[in-house]
Amino acid sequence: MQRLQMEPAMPDTSLEYLKRHQIVRAGAGAGKTYTLTHKVMDIADEIFRKEKRWPRVVVTTFTRKATQELRERLMLLALEEKPHLVDFINSKSHLMVSTIHGVMDLFLKRYGASICVDPGYTVITGAQATKLARQVLRHSILEEGGDSSLLETFPFNKLAILMRRLDAMYGENPEAKPYSVSDFKSIFERRALGIARELESAAFNIKEESTNKPWLKMADDYLVLATQLKSSDWVQAREAFGSYLQAMGRSPSFLKKNPAVTELTNEEAKSALKKAKALLEPAYDPKAWSFFAERFEVLEKIGRRFSEEFRAAKRDKGWLEIGDLELLAMECARAHPESAQAFSSEWDHWLIDEYQDTSPFQVRLLRELTGQEPTFVVGDPQQSIYLFRGARSEVFGHREDEILKGGG
């Protein structure tokens, strides 16, 4: 695996070396853009020198702003250091600097007809999608005599948001099922066990660091709470747990001038107690799980219907959302692997920036589209900004392991 080097004196730019899969783990300020831009130049230089042609290179990053900045940096580098590469940087047929979704858009424009995607589609904004979703939902549950009982639980606008999330989930996992009572129980047990461990850890650290009686009393209380959380019968233990929490009263004050424990232990203790108190919220009440399960079943029934009608409405208008690009590109690649192979073979190299912001689904899709072509992956697993969209810093580590095992 090639590790990040800021300015190697004698960089290896041999064609054999450039055709290996490589990954760079680079934190903020570590010269990531320098490495990426010089990598593009090295590829262009070496392939032109050996094969007398410009390579076809894809460089993906996560935002449109980043793609523009990257293209500007490449042009500046060419003008200052390698003027013979200016034509290559200017050639969009040879150098594609785009977002991941821009790559998927190009793939669907070329090969989407195989799964009945009209290449004349329009990628709509989130606001347009939200407006259409509300129209579809209103027609489905209010005008066609559908089940409107969920409106007793959710305001209409929140229900529309839920429907869109379900639609996205069904796209990635058509076999998704609603939570049952046993699912709620399993989720709670995992959550409770984790909090019990945090309480025990905080109690242990307090006892190690302090002789202050109020703090030691709190440590003992934490151990009692942890024991209750590990009870096999939360229905019975919940009431005692709530009563004990209430009887504990206020936690001892943390005095910075004369602290009874370290600041880290204080924060750990506060965090564990806050999480423990959250277990008294309605979502963790076993008596409510049956109600939630019933609501989920209704939600799933309406969600399936909404998803079908929402997709049909978009199809009739020739509209796609950003998320649709991912789902349809995957459908096309899986149903017609020859299309993904053909697309992959159009490019000599793939360079993927900000890999830590790539979702697991996008990782699978990129594997379909890149095929066996060499990839150069850059990212910082500590700086993922899209966790809420399903991205995971773990995808960087997984890719790093794969490249190491493959001799990259």
Q: Provide the pLDDT confidence category of residue 125 given band limits of 50, 70 and 90.
A: very high
Over the stretch 205-254, which tens digit does the pLDDT of each residue have?
999 999 999 999 999 999 999 999 988 777 778 888 989 998 998 899 99
pLDDT of residue 40: 92
Query: Which residues does 260 contact at the CB level (< 8 Å), separation at least 6?
Result: 209, 210, 212, 214, 215, 252, 254
User: Is the whole-model pTM more than 0.85?
Assistant: no
CATH topology of domain 15-120+329-406: Rossmann fold (3.40.50)
Over the stretch 257-304, which tens digit does the pLDDT of each residue have?
889 999 999 999 999 999 999 998 887 888 888 888 888 888 888 888
Q: Which two tokens stand for residue 211?
A: 């002789």
**Is residue 103 within 8 Å of 57, Cβ to Cβ?**
no
Q: In what order do the strands lie in the sheet with 22-25?
A: 22-25, 375-379, 349-352, 57-61, 95-99
Q: State the chain's mean pLDDT as an integer.
A: 82
